Chains A and B, each alone.
Chain A
């Protein structure tokens, strides 16, 4: 029974959204718009629920006093500070000066530094792959080396040749590979989405 309700909801909602894309019909359009609005609200609710669940989990860790409590405390402080700054009376939410400062001074630097550090990690992984990897890894890394070489920021004639080479690689072989990849992934995504919408192989029991 539960399965049939869930499946019915999936099939009906999915059909409304798909048909709305293909057919122009005001009545159907109104239903689809209401459904889209509901999905926006549900996604927001899921975000709030997820945050509450994460907070509850870390509050438990802090309360139990286990060895991870400092990390959990830091996480809760981060979450609390931004929520208080953005939801306190008189705050303008994400445009509030305190929230903007937290984003610029804390959120952006940590994220940007983490991503910058990835260069060192990727390079280390590439070097390890070149030493210990199989033929596929060698091909992958050799190709990446060629691309890095073509992207070298040189001026003059050498720079023009490299740029022309990089342009050809981008527009012919790489475009060919990624177009194939896009089409292949689109086929797989379509099949998977169709199976979900038709209720085939549902794992909701």
Chain B
């Protein structure tokens, strides 16, 4: 397995200048526009709950998209409250909250912490999502509206494998049918979550790298743009072509050996 060669190719491709011939953003901006539309339709000072449960391992794929969404929400006057139901999600939520505070967005965010119990914690939080030790103007606003999930205009689920947007759809939506759910997820969750978008249970979904990049490109950048650097297109193209070539080579070796065995 030419692992080192592949890494070298990816490194070289990362260093080459970008070209119009290589474009990671999806030319079909439907998904991106759907999320932008939901965010643009928020009332002033809307309270948005961010269910932050990505995986440590796959967060790199959606990081730029998530930060673009947080920037987009804040640019539209939303106030954000973060809650996590997985340990990995909490680790990343704490890191993102720290980054946002350093970027001067501390007054617009609230840390609702971690709730154990996966689905049980999720359902428990429907009625009471603000912990006693949560402080700040955003936490107070949520308490003033009852302290339940019903206080929020929108829920943005940053999804991972352990507790995906599917859990929110299955557990929260039946209990709060009026709540608007949107999700950002790594590509491997796209087939699982896409049916929920088509059934209307999700109002927007970014679950492929290309839709995520299209969205991130569409959200205006500010001074913190350096932390929103998306995955580069050229190394992706190089890696995909290499993968296809290697798989094609193996298929040709198989063809040279003879027809495949019958179905097992």
Contact = CB atoms under 8 A, between A and B. Distances in A.
Direct contact of A and B (CB under 8 A): yes
A103 B91 CA distance: 7
A103 B90 CA distance: 10
Interface string A117-136: 00110011011101101111
Contact of A164 (B28, B91, B249, B253): B28
B262 A135 contact: yes
B94 to A, nearest CB: 5
Given A107-B56, A131-B253, A100 B94 contact: yes
B132 interface: no
A21 interface: yes
Contacts of B191: 170, 174-175, 177-178
B45 interface: no
A130 B23 CA distance: 30
Contacts of B253: 130-131
Interface residues of B, number: 71
A85 interface: no
Interface stretch (B71-79, B118-126, B218-226): B118-126
Contacts of A166: 210
Interface residues of A, number: 63
A103 to B, nearest CB: 5
Contacts of B21: 154-156
A47 B138 CA distance: 30
Interface in A130-158: 130-131, 133-136, 138, 141-142, 145, 148-149, 151-156
B5 to A, nearest CB: 11
B50 to A, nearest CB: 16
B24 interface: yes
Interface stretch (A3-11, A32-40, A57-65, A195-203): A32-40
Contact of B243 (A112, A114, A123): A123
Given A44-B116, A153-B236, A156-B20, A163 B28 contact: yes
B118 to A, nearest CB: 7
Contacts of A37: 124
Contacts of A119: 239
Interface in B174-226: 174-175, 190-192, 194-195, 198, 208, 210
B236 A100 contact: no
Contact of B250 (A127, A134, A163): A127
Given A103-B91, A123-B1, A148-B243, 14 more contacts: A33-B124, A43-B121, A94-B91, A100-B98, A111-B56, A124-B1, A127-B246, A131-B250, A135-B262, A141-B251, A153-B240, A154-B237, A155-B23, A163-B210
